[in-house]
Amino acid sequence: MKKLIAAASLCVASFSVQAAIVVPEHDIAAGQKVAETVCAACHGLNGVSIVPAQPNLGGQNVKYLYKQLVNFKAGYRKNGIMQSQVANLSQQDLANVAGYYASQAPWGVGYGNPATNQEATKLFLGGDKSRGVIGCAGCHGPDAAGNTWAAFPKLGGQHAQYIATQLKLFRAAGRVDDIDSDDQKRVNDAAKEGEMGMMQTVASKLSDRDIRILSDYVSAIH
């Protein structure tokens, strides 16, 4: 019970930190030009990726997109491809492209697994108290639409493969796994370096099966 209360407190703290994100005024037309030359090959010009390993971005909330781009540029979020792509972009470029993709029509939905839908629904909405797993809906909403004000991302309809990869990266950080390189974990949910972020805390409790069924479930939410 104490662990559950602590995790819930972390969610409140994470909410406060994310809410403090301020996106500079941005130029959507300028952002489209950046997207055309830098981003579209992986994420699609309209923010719909045809590659399951790469996330859809169209209609994602602008605070979340801007934060991730800033984190990639600062090296706080590790990914060799993304870090090289944003290396020559200014802070204004990052705001512009975040604003552009946020302005696009939301992406569609994927395909869930009917065999695990009931189990995944319970885990997504309410977690599993017996294992200290916190439900995803508390921050991302019961329809996985996210929270624009708090910069919690929209998850519904996102590629299952991408979701699964991110959960595993958060889990590796949350469990302090012995890994070969920093790009095999994700820590940019934490407010300060060295602290445990909410996603790291939640994902640390997830099994491979949990991650698989949640990723399939989230992909199909609309």
Whether 217 contacts 117, CB under 8 Å: yes
pLDDT-derived band at 19 (thresholds 50, 70, 90) equals low
pLDDT-derived band at 178 (thresholds 50, 70, 90) equals confident
Cα 189 to the center of its chain, rounded Å? 9
Is pTM beyond 0.85? Reply is: yes
* pLDDT tens readout for residues 83-128: 999 999 999 999 999 999 999 999 999 889 999 999 999 999 999 9
- pLDDT at residue 8 tops 60: no
CA–CA distance, 5 with 89 (Å, rounded to integer): 41
Percent of the chain predicted with pLDDT > 70? 91
Domains, the chain, ranges and CATH? 2-19+109-220 (1.10.760.10), 28-102 (1.10.760.10)
- pLDDT at residue 182 tops 90: no
Tokens of 134: 């916190």
The pLDDT of residue 179 is 83
